[in-house]
Structure 1
């Protein structure tokens, strides 16, 4: 009789331990999901604000496009409008794809999916960095023509100080920003690797 009671007690404890393990695993997964989502909250806020500014600038160029009377200013204006509309959309969509990763899928599929999304996000950031250097040169003549009515491409003195200063600033700013994004995605990957 004692053996049967011991066996029943052992079975009950085993079932209880399995249930506790399931609950513990669920709590760990839920905490990991919350930590993963919070990794991107600041980036989402900053990217959203930057996108609003970019859309506002694109709208400003669009409503004043008639002031761009030379063909080269119109080409620069179109590039500026496209940059200010396309890249915020690409960057936000890549960021939201990372944020909305399905964390309930099996681990190997999760990591494959995460790495694809991470690669796309960082590629969008790299491309926007390269095009930012072109935008620095393209946007200034457009802005000056719209605001002051002057054709800046015919005045070389402004270019002597503006381009070097803007390029140096942009180099350090984009480098800092890219490192932040890379660190954020690497940290999220490390967090996901704990689910294994």
Structure 2
């Protein structure tokens, strides 16, 4: 069996990764969303919750048994060692879930939607190409403030913990410009979709 073409999709918070992934899915790609896998792992009864509670204490689970995201976010941003422990728990489980989802995929090709693709350092060997969704930092900040009801300082703190725009662009084989809204995305997606279909052969 020929391995299905794998593409890595990344972008900073507020760049529009989910919208771009949906547009690729509408054209026949299978999307493996590592954020969704992480959410499942930290939901009530999620596969990562016993290890998280063992490492951080029961106060990091909410009343339903899910990860207390606000508490963990505060800790992870203030304590690099705690962030490293959390990543050591989550990242191998996310990777295994992503590979299992890709193995079961039936689309024309697989897109791994990975917010921290550049930061992780291990995805480059798993994908044929990396596509970065790019927009200005001002657009990122405005989108996240509106969507998540966060302050500008909070959004900048999240962005500072991610790869820089320049680092993502340097790692990318393909770039999708998402400064101008959804109407400007379609022709870019069409062009890359056609390229990825050709790369399968």
TM over 0.5: no
| RCO comparison, higher one (Cα < 8 Å, 6+) | 2
TM-score (norm 2): 0.26
User: Structure 1 or 2: larger strand share?
Assistant: 2
TM-score (norm 1): 0.27
User: Structure 1 or 2: larger helix share?
Assistant: 1
